[in-house]
Amino acid sequence: MKKILIAALFLCCATFANAQNLVVSDSASTISPEQMQTIETYKSTCAQKVEENWRKSNIKHDDVTIKITFKSLQDGTIDDLELEIPSKYEQNNKAAIKAIEDAAPFDAIPQELNAQEAQHVMFFPCRRFAQITPFSGN
């Protein structure tokens, strides 16, 4: 019974990375609905790759949500990775960074967006009872 309770508790406490506010640098001043759909698809694909790696992480529970920003370049490589809000546990910070690095390279930015890079902001909740929130884009 104790093992079942622990397994259920682990599933309830799972932490996931959420990618939000990915901004594709676009030379056009307005974005068409088709381009917006392409951006959303690209954001979702990047987030899923990072989330898969984050789920495998062994983290310590902390009352913080780690925030990391980085760019993905046109060819999918990452650049300018910055830990903006760290956990007090270095193990958690390393796990979040590793989740991104292991997900790279991302898919190339779709050519129809005419973009050289994409700015990503990712959040990694470390709270014991973190609410799992679905991917949302802006």
Q: What's the pTM?
A: 0.73
CA atoms of 8 and 3, how far apart (whole Å): 9
pLDDT attached to residue 129: 56
Q: How far separated are the first and last CA of the chain, in Å rounded?
A: 44
102 CB-side CA count, 13 A: 16
Confidence of residue 3 (pLDDT cuts 50, 70, 90): very low
User: Can you give the residue ranges of every domain in the chain?
Assistant: 2-125
Collect all residues with Cβ–Cβ distance below 8 Å to 94 and sequence separation of at least 6.
Answer: none
What are the tens digits of pLDDT across the range 57-111? 888 988 889 999 999 999 999 999 999 999 999 999 999 999 999 999 999 999 8
